[in-house]
Structure 1
Amino acid sequence: MMTAEALGRPVCTATIGHDDAVNVTIDGVNRTFASMPDAIGFLAGTAGDLGRPVKVTAFDPSSTTQPEASLIVSEDGSVDADSSVPMKKRPPRRSTPRPAQAGINTQREISAGNEVPVEIGSTPIGTAPTAESVLVIETAQNEPSESPAVIRVPARTVEVSPEPVSELAPKAQPTPQPAPAAIQVEPGDARIQLRPEVRAEKKAAPAREGWRGWLNATFKANLAPSAPEQDSRERRARIQRPLDAHRTMAVIQLKGGATKTTVAYHLAATYGRIRGGNILAGEFNENQGTLGERALAGSHDRTTLDLIRNLGTVTRRTSDLVRYIRPQGDDRIHVLASPPEGADRRRVDGTSVKAAHDVLLSLYNLILLDTGNSAQASTWQAAVDVADSLVFVAQNKEDDCRLLEATVEGVKAQGDADKFARSILVVTNTAQPNTERLTRLKEYGKTIGLAAVIVVPFDESLQEGRAFDYEALNPATRRAYEDATVALTNQL
């Protein structure tokens, strides 16, 4: 059924590189992904756009048995073998048995009418046969010298003379072997994978952190990870969970200075450092933002306004965005900053934001949108509309609480209240946090049906508009952003 639905167009191929990167070609247009889950997610998105599965020819040059396979990728991300195309396999290497050398005692293993020369070890000829004999098969002399292959098979032993066998003697004919039964594969079978040998890290791997990790690295010990390290591995595994499509999250709060930019950047950086792939922190708002000022500077000063003005020249290739985005080093993300206050903003409206987002979504696996401060602005409304999930933010301050309620009402008025169940609230504590207010914020998040409320501790490195430096974050701050990223990923 699935094979019948997947037509010959578009023509899709997936080639796996030595670094496990995957190059996907759809009708001649190339896309490169850092991992196989990202490539499968992109192909599943293509199938979703078409409303039917797509055929994919997968090439794995490093495979010694199956360099090419024809697969079917469905809208939900499941991968099945295309039963209409036979799997191509490389033939096994052949080796020619070398004749037994003169002067060496030999015996023959007779089983099912076949005779195989066997080198005698310490067992004398004529001893009682055993249930299992050892066959030593030597390769031809013109092949590289290797240890003889040892195969254990049931057989019976008879004594023979050491003289060579005459070439005129009739040879026993091998018994025909039945053809192997065809393997029946059900949809979703885990055996159908482009790279079955690639596996996720086992949770039981030895410790790498703390004193346990030091002992393992220094003395080759095999100590299990501590509970905190095990928790960290589980969080990372959940953040790295494959997604079935590219996703967008909008960070919103109507109050200025409520940590929207800080939260948007550090959520993106957490994804970049742990998950990897194409990730963007973009700024689309009606006022000048600070994302471009606090992130690493680029080789240019172009902004979202320049991108919008030149959308007609941007094809769906990441290389076309080099003139607009700013790479962020070890954070492994890109930043797209808003224009300065004095720029002509007449073209930055809801329609242009959606047009730019449509292009960006085809190039980035995850997009974090930093928004403005007005629910009436078309840019704010467009950002909320295109988002799959919302990230409400607030500091542990009374005015932040009041405007958080106004933000929630703005989302409801726009008709996007159904997104609350896939959204979270990130509360950033002040130097002297109010415990009672923090409790109210948590209860409010539960009342409106948010998926999670995450509290980020006070961190001196994030104060007073300083430049972002992920390495300078306190361990508790990093943990909080990982928790927020896990909560978001669970809803995507």
Structure 2
Amino acid sequence: MLHVPTWPVISARIDADGSGVLTMNGTEHPIDTTSAENARREVVRFCADTAQKLQRPVRVTVEEPDSTWPLIVHPDGKVDAVDETDDADFPDDDTNEATPVIEAVPGMTAPADDAEPAGPRRTSHVPVVADDASAEAPAATPEDIEPIRTPAADPAPEPAAAPTPMPMPLPTQTPPVAMPAARQISPQSRRSFIAPERLEEPATRGFRGALSRMGGKVSPGAAERAEREDQAAVSQHFPGPRTIAVVNGKGGANKTPTTILTSAVFARYGGAGVLAWDNNQTRGTLGWRTEQGPHDATLHDLLPETERLLSTNAQSSELARYVHHQTRDKYDVLRSQPMVLASQQRVSSDDVDRIHAVAAKYYRIIVMDSGNDESDPMWLRMIDHTDQLVVATSSRAEHAEAGALLLEALAERDERSAALASNAVTVVSQSDEKATAAEIRRIEDGYRDLVREVVRIPYDPAMGAAQLHYRALRPETQRAWLAATAAIARGLAK
């Protein structure tokens, strides 16, 4: 890891309007630009010039209104973000102690300082003389000399006896060598050589994103990582169709906007195969707040064709006669007929079964808008087909109370309905600009004990438009709807 000294001490403060001040070793240099992005570039340019003069990278700490960034700027202008642990392995000063490349080898004795260098070892042909061999040995006396004796003639040798034959050893039986038992190989017990690799893309938002665009190796922050996780959640395709029911027993509680924008998020990030269905016995407004196709068909036109559409010869493109495709947000809408009295267009529970069978054949996500009558067979049959329940409520107390009462009623209906209620997601939309944070927090806290997740949608004037489109919303509102849809998707994956 590259050790970058802490001298010179450089820091910078950048304001949202592009102004600020850069300080190096106590000397301040004002920053006067037109935007925070330009101010960041000015800081990097100043630090790169300093790094070129020192011929090494320099450190700088940049403070912005929302965060502080410790950075390293190289002479070529490259910028690296500094982790909190980067300085733990380095001393504060610039001294670097020499580190031996090879440590002492265990079991070897170090040679003495005056030892001769070791060389190849061999056997010498010259006899080794002791240290005291230089002293002359005393001369030998006659008594010390042994006389030389002449050997007598050897007697004639006797004939050698015949050698006694050695007995031959009997062959012995070598015991067989026991082979080790074969090792069982199982794919489940072996670790794959192909390790899963998940590459993280560099940051694209905020100051980290600006550094990435300038060539720095900067990972995304916590907020951007959370957004990417939500995008991945709503992009998943599940094994089999999934049905979402948006409910509240009170009119005007934002059921239809929740149906529209949830469908839009699923379709925008996950692709085609999303249907928004106005499962409303009375005057449903889903068709009024979405685009109309080149026809005025409703679910009543679809009902007589369900048997044909369920046949093996039917094609998905035939549904275009009955649903209205949303060209901007990429999902389809199955409308009710709000222009006719409910008594003239009753939909039975069997009708719901037939329409749902067609929808489940051609769509992967079905988002059902609902009416206000929880005792209607059409409403109850919707609950029977539901995989994920969504309670939509505004910031008004009566809407929040109606949603809570509905959850309590479902908890007493049967075991499956009780499970849907406890696993529900509540979407609290601030429809009133004057609603206080305390009022909204009170509704959120009240629902946390009833459901799995609660998501708040901030006030946005675009939510009151005649037709709702996801991209027409403010960025913070789009992010909130992404979070709400991701919470719903997490329930569908189970």
Give TM-score, length-normalised by structure 2: 0.56
- The 3-state SS of whatever aligns with 1:291 is coil
- The structure 2 residue matched to 1:274, chosen from 269, 277, 296, is 269
1:424-435 matches, cutoff 5 A:
424-429=425-430, 430-435=432-437
- The 3-state SS of whatever aligns with 2:277 is strand
Query: Which residue number in structure 2 is paired with residue 260 of structure 1?
Result: 255
* Cα distance between partner residues in 2 of 1:446 and 1:319: 43
Shift of 1:190: 8.3
* Cα distance between partner residues in 1 of 2:205 and 2:211: 10
Shift of 1:326: 1.2
Query: Which residue number in structure 2 is paired with residue 364 of structure 1?
Result: 363
1:42-57 matches, cutoff 5 A:
none
Q: Which amino acid aligns with 1:328?
A: Q
Gaps of 5+ in 1: 1-181
Q: Contact 2:456 / 2:480 at 8 angstroms: preserved in 1?
A: yes
Shift of 1:466: 2.1
- The 3-state SS of whatever aligns with 1:322 is helix
- Alignment pair present for 1:230 and 2:229: no
Shift of 1:406: 3.1
Q: Which amino acid aligns with 2:434?
A: Q
Task: Report the CA distance shift for 1:226/1:252 in structure 2 as closer, same or farther (over 3 A).
Answer: same
- The structure 2 residue matched to 1:206, chosen from 202, 206, 209, is 202
* Cα distance between partner residues in 2 of 1:247 and 1:377: 22
1:363-402 matches, cutoff 5 A:
363-402=362-401
Q: Which amino acid aligns with 1:207?
A: A
Shift of 1:209: 4.1
Identity value in percent: 28
Query: Which residue number in structure 2 is paired with residue 485 of structure 1?
Result: 485
Q: Which amino acid aligns with 2:307?
A: G
- Alignment pair present for 1:460 and 2:458: no
* Cα distance between partner residues in 1 of 2:197 and 2:243: 26
Render the CA deviation track for 1:52-102: whole Å, top value 9, x for unaligned: xxxxxxxxxxxxxxxxxxxxxxxxxxxxxxxxxxxxxxxxxxxxxxxxxxx
Shift of 1:296: 1.3
- Alignment pair present for 1:404 and 2:406: no
Render the CA deviation track for 1:393-417: whole Å, top value 9, x for unaligned: 1111122133223322442354211
Task: Report the CA distance shift for 1:333/1:183 in structure 2 as closer, same or farther (over 3 A).
Answer: farther
Shift of 1:442: 2.3
Q: Contact 1:305 / 1:347 at 8 angstroms: preserved in 2?
A: no
1:70-469 matches, cutoff 5 A:
185-186=187-188, 202=199, 204-210=200-206, 212-213=208-209, 216=212, 222-315=217-310, 317-342=315-340, 345-415=344-414, 416-429=417-430, 430-448=432-450, 450-463=451-464, 465-469=465-469
- The 3-state SS of whatever aligns with 1:302 is coil
* Cα distance between partner residues in 1 of 2:197 and 2:254: 35
* Cα distance between partner residues in 2 of 1:213 and 1:447: 38
Task: Report the CA distance shift for 1:359/1:214 in structure 2 as closer, same or farther (over 3 A).
Answer: same
* Cα distance between partner residues in 2 of 1:373 and 1:187: 55
| Greater Cα offset, 437-446 or 383-392 | 437-446
Q: Which amino acid aligns with 1:477?
A: T
Shift of 1:266: 0.4
* Cα distance between partner residues in 2 of 1:302 and 1:284: 15
Task: Report the CA distance shift for 1:186/1:474 in structure 2 as closer, same or farther (over 3 A).
Answer: same
Q: Contact 2:404 / 2:447 at 8 angstroms: preserved in 1?
A: no
Task: Report the CA distance shift for 1:257/1:200 in structure 2 as closer, same or farther (over 3 A).
Answer: farther
Query: Which residue number in structure 1 is paired with residue 75 of structure 2?
Result: none
Give TM-score, length-normalised by structure 1: 0.56
Q: Contact 1:317 / 1:363 at 8 angstroms: preserved in 2?
A: no
Q: Contact 1:425 / 1:445 at 8 angstroms: preserved in 2?
A: yes
* Cα distance between partner residues in 2 of 1:299 and 1:462: 25
- The 3-state SS of whatever aligns with 1:431 is coil
Q: Contact 1:281 / 1:369 at 8 angstroms: preserved in 2?
A: yes
Q: Contact 2:231 / 2:269 at 8 angstroms: preserved in 1?
A: yes
Query: Which residue number in structure 2 is paired with residue 470 of structure 1?
Result: 470
Task: Report the CA distance shift for 1:323/1:394 in structure 2 as closer, same or farther (over 3 A).
Answer: same
What is the root-mean-square deviation in Å for CA atoms of aligned residues? 3.0
Task: Report the CA distance shift for 1:220/1:489 in structure 2 as closer, same or farther (over 3 A).
Answer: same
Q: Contact 2:393 / 2:429 at 8 angstroms: preserved in 1?
A: yes
Q: Contact 1:251 / 1:263 at 8 angstroms: preserved in 2?
A: yes
Shift of 1:477: 1.2
Q: Which amino acid aligns with 2:443?
A: L
Gaps of 5+ in 2: 1-183
